[in-house]
Amino acid sequence: MSNIPKTMKALVAYAPGDYRLEQVETPRAGEGEMILKVEACGICAGDVKALHGAPSFWGLDGQAKYIKEPVIPGHEFVGKVVEIGPNVEGDWKIGDRICPEQIVPCGKCMFCKSGRYWMCEKHDLFGFQNNVNGGMAEYVRITKEARPYKVPDDMPIEQALLIEPYSCSKHCVDRAAPTNEDVVVLSGVGTLGLGMVGGLRKRNPKLLIALDMNDVRLAKAKAFGADMVMNPGKEDVVKKVKDLTGGYGCDIYIEASGHPSSVQQGLDMIRKMGRFVEFSVFGSPVTVDWSIISDRKELDLLGVHLSPYSYDSVIQWIGDGTMPTDGVVSHKFPLEQWQTGFEYAATGKDNSFKVALIP
Ligand SMILES: [Zn+2]
Ligand SMILES: [Zn+2]
């Protein structure tokens, strides 16, 4: 395509705190690859952590390095196909609207070969390694290992931007696997938690209780289908949940807040033999009395990572409104104002939920 400019605007990450808006060479499609013109790219909590120098990303404090810099950040992007290389898999056309999964699996490791590609040993993710540069740029390359999905042309960008985060929410709900006899407590209703409210609602639990320290978020959770909402900063939520369950506690506790106190709170309010689902990523190690899990409650403890086999359903559910999206993408900034965008995403300023950059 001759109308693809030689260079493009991109945000480039060099080091913790050293991100620069630059003019860089536009990627072109090689064998099995496509180029998208980016419509918008959401800012993830992970992007904020990378900017602020999380040791697990940058290989500090003796941890293995994850980021390969200089890299263009952003894994929550939607764009239109402007170039298709030779031998691209799938029936793609110029102008198709695409949202890829965030993971770009190697296809060769034990996990990939057994269908568990989201736990790929190599684990490249758009926007974290420079062989899979992300969407905070005018154009982005969909590499041949990527997993692209078709987004309906008439889906508003505010909805399309939630396909990636809500797919992670759906995977979490799948792991929690509530039935209509379960009392489910969901701790933390940011963007991902709000997606879980929609996903949990579809499974019709006996009672769905959302917890958050932020009343604006709680109001949103209620509007999206939570049966009850409670603010742990204002009331004794452990006692309240126990009172609601004959003193036993909730059947399933989903930790999606990222606050260490929410882990203890969950261990306190979950019933014996309940299911504790850990979704969050924490800024530092969490300390609890581990023997609650064994000796005192015999809990099932489940982790959650990414969004396998979720995109098709989530695109459908966002489209038909059963995964509510109203107002979740709350702020959009031009790429030039990326610093403001990251600040809003980091602080939740002006009641922001999901913040997006428009290149
Ligand atoms: Zn994300
Ligand atoms: Zn792999």
Rg (CA), the chain: 21
Tell me the mean pLDDT in the region 19-27.
98
Same domain, 146 and 175: no
Token pair for residue 70?
Answer: 């200089």
Q: How far apart are CA 318 and CA 296, in angstroms?
A: 41
The CATH number of the domain holding residue 153 is 3.90.180.10
Average pLDDT for residues 57-61, to the nearest whole number? 91
Residue 192 lies in a domain: yes
- Assess whether 231 and 145 both reside in one domain: no
What pLDDT score does 51 carry? 96
Q: How far is 99 from 150, CA to CA, in rounded Å?
A: 7
**What spacing in Å lies between the alpha carbon of 121 and ligand 2's midpoint?**
5
> What are the tens digits of pLDDT across the range 255-279?
999 999 999 999 999 999 999 999 9
Strands (E), 134-291: 139-142, 148-150, 183-187, 207-211, 228-230, 250-255, 270-278
CA-based nearest residue to 85, from 13, 143, 41: 143
- pLDDT-above-90 percentage for the chain: 95
pTM exceeding 0.95: yes
Q: What pLDDT was estimated at residue 258? A: 92
Amino acid at 158: E
For residues 113 and 216, state if they share a domain.
no
354 and 275 in a single domain? The answer is: no
- What sign results for the dihedral spanned by CA atoms 215, 316, 184, 292? negative
Tokens of 115: 């269908």
Give 109 Cα–ligand 2 centroid separation in angstroms: 4
Is 335 found in the same domain as 209?
Answer: no
Q: Classify 130 as helix, strand or coil.
A: helix
pLDDT value of residue 63 = 87
**pLDDT at 326 > cutoff 60:** yes
Is 313 inside any structural domain? no
Residues 146 and 184 in one domain: no
Residue 2 within a domain: no
Task: Name the average pLDDT for the chain.
Answer: 96
CATH classification at residue 223? 3.40.50.720
Q: Please tell me whether residues 110 and 220 are part of one structural domain.
A: no
Summarize pLDDT for 271-315 with one digit per residue, the tens: 999 999 999 988 788 999 999 999 999 999 999 999 999 999 999
Q: Are residues 59 and 102 in the same domain?
A: yes
Both 109 and 144 in one domain: the answer is yes
Banded pLDDT at 61 (limits 50, 70, 90): confident
Mean pLDDT of 328-336: 97
Look at residue 104 in the predicted model and tell me its pLDDT.
98
Higher pLDDT, 189 or 60: 189
For residue 75, the CA-to-ligand 1 centroid distance in Å is 6
Burial 184-213 (b: 16+ CB within 10 A, else e): bbbbbbbbbbbbbbbbbbebebebbbbbbe
Q: Which residues surround ligand 1, an ion (CB under 5 A)?
A: 44
Tokens of 287: 């300390």
Residue 1 pLDDT > 60 = no
Shared domain for 152 and 12, answered yes or no, is yes
pLDDT given for residue 56 in this prediction: 87
The string of pLDDT tens digits covering residues 98-154 is: 999 999 999 999 999 999 999 999 999 999 999 999 999 999 999 999 999 999 999
Q: How far is the CA of 163 from the centre of ligand 1 (A)?
A: 10
Does one domain contain both 193 and 257?
Answer: yes
The rounded Å distance from CA 272 to ligand 1 centre is: 33
Quick one: which ligand is closest to 165's CA?
1
Per the structure, the complete domain to which residue 178 belongs is given by: 168-303
CB-CB neighbours of 305 under 10 Å = 15
**Mean pLDDT of the region 220-225:** 98
Residues 18 and 81 in one domain: yes
Please tell me the distance between residue 125's alpha carbon and the centre of ligand 2 in angstroms.
Answer: 12
Mean pLDDT value across residues 232-261: 97
Tell me the HSE value of 92 on the side-chain side, using a 13 A CA sphere: 30
**What's the pLDDT score for residue 2?**
58
Identify the nearest ligand to the CA of 190 by its number: 1
Instruction: Kindly identify the ligand whose nearest atom is closest to the C-alpha of 49.
Output: 1
